[in-house]
Structure 1
Amino acid sequence: MAMKFSGQVALVTGAAGGIGRAVALAFAAEGLKVAVADFNAEGGEGTVQLIRDAGGEATFVRCDVTSEADVKAMVEQVVATYGRLDYAVNNAGIEGKKDRLPTFEASEFDAIMNVNVKGVWQCLKYQLPVMAAQGGGAIVNTASVAGIRGVKNMSIYSASKHAVIGLTKSAAVEFAKKGIRVNAVCPGLIETDMGLRVIDGAVDKTVYHPAGRMGSPEEIADAVLYLCSDQASFTMGHAMVVDGAISAA
């Protein structure tokens, strides 16, 4: 079933690689103009080049989502370049270290929360008014299966992703009547650099999910595009789990 998009422009943060890159490429394959945002300029420009090589249109925007000035400038640059913002995927995130809860220092707590929670909040803060002014849009925040369950030795990461789901639901309630749909996607263990760090380079990757494998970034991108599409027109404030049944076990 083909996706149906009514808008023209998508913004993806954390798009230098992994899930963000897969989402950016998927949007471009659907004919959208894509703003690729990341603090990693080399990776971000690499994503832009992949889109252009495939015949798509994209631009790179350097952005540290922990900086409000950067986030504000990012959204302004997208609007200045393309005239509007129809879809936003707030994907930038970090996992932090793996260890027991009492071992974390305040600085480590702050680092995770600043990217995963403050970063998403700041993106929403500047994306929502733009979409409201133009009559609508769709936003997907990248949470995690860790946002709906506890995770041993990743307590702060888990807390941050619970918070992303809270932001998602609250924003959905506040802006539904403005024609803006806000949802979240909750990936399980995905075969990205981050995912491989989480499993500590384990040789047997099949033991983490009932599905018997890790997920692919493209499978998460498919879920994100569905949530952005008109086919999800009545889906709001939803945290879609895409995790190979790990949360069901």
Structure 2
Amino acid sequence: MFCPHCGTQLPDGSAFCANCGSQLNAAPNPAPAPMPGYGGAVAQPTGSFDIKKFLPIIIAVAAVALLLILFLVIRPFGGSGNANLRKLVTMEPEEIAQTLDKMESVKVDGQRVYVSSEEFGELLKDTMGDFNKKEAEQAEGEWAFYTYPEARDLEDGEELTNIYAIKVYASTDELTCDKVLSYVSDLGLKAGTYACYVDSEGEYAYITSYTDDYSINMDVRVDNHATITDARIYTDEGYALEDAIDEVESAADALEDDMEAWDYREIATNVK
């Protein structure tokens, strides 16, 4: 072997150069660690944060936060995306105006109508609610309503007297009173005490009902392409609840008396 410093020939295994005294057995430089993805994994430092382990938790927390935000945003009109008219008829005038300001509206035959979507508003203007098959399928689940007097024009101390609302179902199945009650619920309303009947063909139904806060008269009709619910919701001021009670009781009595004569398919009432 030769000294790398002065070139003197030395016995193999020498630790020092006999000529210049340089140390000859220094440890070699360590080999570099392989790059990630090129032949070997680099160990995580002790105590480091591995985001992959916590990613499912982070995603779950984000999803819950998003659902909470959506709930708070749509809360004034809850349920399955439909106008919760029950809340609207019990709001103060300023609350009603603020709520309606957030909603889509169109003018249909000079009347401001609040709609579930801009597309449905345009469809209403074009069809006036008389849908063909394709339009009925497009309108599935859509709703619209207008108020009287116009809710945006209410002054302090005034109340809505009534709301007119429709909802569309792309179905032509025969009607039952259970279906009618579900349609009332779909609008965010409660039937309360009610009397209902379905005609002999199962294509028309009517329900009249009242609660402590409002009363409802609703027609349901089935045409060739859709089922349309047409509800009138009256507040205490607009339609005296005593009158609603009398109407429901009278309707219940009349339905029972006339069922055979009129050949009703079904009558349902919870009037005692």
TM-score scaled by structure 2?
A: 0.24
TM-score scaled by structure 1?
A: 0.26
- RCO (CA 8 Å, sep 6+): is it higher in 1 or 2? 1
Question: Whose helix proportion is higher, 1 or 2?
Answer: 1
Which is higher, the Rg of structure 1 or of structure 2? 2
